[in-house]
């Protein structure tokens, strides 16, 4: 497999991003010598969600406003019900996701972050996985929902939940090596 060293991956987060997923994603990227950068609608910091309560606070590298897809090699949106709902309602976030896809760059979404892909109109005609609870949202958006740990359909990688992170990250690595 080609090296991923030096790649820049934007991690799109908001208050309530799933701490366990974000932590693993960042670690896996760092081990592959990929630079993970946190983008968020709020540019200073954000508090993660840890299981059933608020978790750690992380500094944000850049605000979504002003972020450009051409400055990154890929985009990953960690899960988290609260974060996904916040992100999908933000027009700048939706524009950024669309920009990544129109530039032919891989975009990954874990768990409820698939809502952001739906809002960006990126699910129609694709095979997608997600938590069972948003299966109907996927099908109503024109996607085909399947119950797999991770799905790579063209530029988009989706995963169900944190237990599927190894499969999700392997699919993201495959997408990054093509780019």
What domains are there in the chain, each with its CATH number? 8-178 (3.40.50.880)
Marked catalytic residue, from 44, 112, 152, 163: 112
Per-residue pLDDT at 135: 97
The pTM (predicted TM-score) of the whole model is 0.96
> What is the mean pLDDT for each group of 10 consecutive residues in the chain (179 residues)?
82 97 96 96 91 94 96 97 97 98 97 98 98 98 98 96 95 82
- Using a 10 angstrom Cβ sphere, with 0-12 exposed, 13-18 middle and 19 or more buried, the burial of residue 12 is buried
Active-site annotation holds for 163: no
Per-residue pLDDT at 175: 83
Distance CA 172, CA 158 (A): 9
Beta strands in 17-168, from DSSP E residues, in sequence order: 35-40, 45-50, 53-59, 62-63, 74-77, 107-110, 127-128, 144-145, 150-153, 156-159
Q: Do strands 144-145 and 127-128 pair parallel, antiparallel, or not at all (unpaired)?
A: parallel
Per-residue pLDDT at 112: 98
Contact 134, 84 (CB under 8 A): no
Bridge partners (DSSP) listed for residue 74? 9
């Amino acid at each position: 497999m080609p090296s991923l060293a030096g790649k820049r991956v934007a991690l799109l987060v908001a208050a309530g991003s799933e701490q366990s997923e974000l932590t693993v994603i960042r670690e896996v990227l760092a081990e592959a010598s990929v630079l993970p950068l946190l983008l968020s609608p709020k540019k200073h910091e954000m508090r993660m969600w840890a299981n059933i309560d608020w978790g750690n606070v992380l500094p944000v590298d850049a605000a979504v406003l002003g972020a450009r897809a051409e400055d990154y090699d890929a985009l990953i949106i960690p899960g988290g019900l609260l974060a996904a709902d916040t992100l999908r309602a933000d027009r700048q976030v939706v524009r950024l996701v669309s920009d990544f896809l129109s530039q032919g760059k891989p975009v990954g979404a874990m768990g409820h972050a698939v809502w952001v892909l739906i809002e960006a109109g990126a699910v129609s005609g694709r095979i997608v996985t997600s938590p069972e609870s948003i299966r109907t949202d996927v099908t109503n958006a024109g996607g085909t929902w399947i119950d797999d740990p991770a799905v790579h359909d063209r530029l988009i990688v989706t995963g169900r939940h944190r237990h599927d992170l190894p499969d999700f990250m392997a699919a993201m690595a495959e997408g990054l090596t093509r780019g």
